[in-house]
A and B are shown apart, each in its own frame.
Chain A
Amino acid sequence: DAGITQSPRHKVTETGTPVTLRCHQTENHRYMYWYRQDPGHGLRLIHYSYGVKDTDKGEVSDGYSVSRSKTEDFLLTLESATSSQTSVYFCATGSQGNYEQYFGPGTRLTVT
């Protein structure tokens, strides 16, 4: 398994506050992804990165931004959290030419 950690693992925050979630990998994988998981929706892609400083939007990117300043870290920021962003967030990584993705343990975010 790829070494993927996410921090924090749990967070409760208030509406309107900024939140940053961190994903850290030790596998030197080129590709990194942020998903959100909600009941009845499966996993939906928020943003992804195909290299340092190279990112693109996914299916549900509104209200989220990302940054990747080095290979091992991919940050997801909610500039002003809303209750609709209460979810479980998963980071994943993938290597060039290998279509598998490896998932982190998830961050449960509650916006009150």
Chain B
Amino acid sequence: AQSVTQLGSHVSVSEGALVLLRCNYSSSVPPYLFWYVQYPNQGLQLLLKYTSAATLVKGINGFEAEFKKSETSFHLTKPSAHMSDAAEYFCAVINRGSQGNLIFGKGTKLSVKP
């Protein structure tokens, strides 16, 4: 069965510091992986996705993530945090060849200190 584990329910960084949000997945077949962001009182917005092309994926707002099969990881990074990055971030996995049923992690809330 597929699963996603996000390490750390809360992460706090200073403005300008590196952002690193961790995601590990479990999947019996090659997965597609996603990061979504949720700003307060809003729905989820796709940040980036891995669908078996390049292992380093660039997304919106300066975020990127690297698919590492050997580590079953898909960590999200941003070199320099901005106050506007404060939000909750969700990692999600889906099996290739199956339609639609994303499995979400429990989320990591990112705080950015001035």
Contacts and interface: CB of A to CB of B under 8 A. Distances in A.
A100 B46 contact: yes
Interface of B is mostly: loop
Interface of A is mostly: strand
Contacts of B107: 42
Given A40-B106, A42-B106, A99-B32, A90 B101 contact: no
Q: How many of chain B's residues touch chain A, expressed as a range?
A: 20 to 34
B100 A106 contact: no
B41 to A, nearest CB: 8
Nearest to B44: A103
A105 B43 CA distance: 4
Q: How many of chain A's residues touch chain B, expressed as a range?
A: 20 to 34
Nearest to B91: A42
Given A99-B32, A99-B51, A106-B43, A50 B102 contact: no
Interface in A27-65: 31, 33, 40-45, 48, 50, 58
A31 B105 contact: no
Interface string A94-112: 1010011111111000000
9 contacts: A44-B104, A92-B44, A99-B32, A99-B99, A101-B100, A103-B36, A103-B44, A103-B45, A106-B42
Interface of B: 9, 32, 34, 36, 41-46, 49, 51, 90, 94, 99-102, 104-107
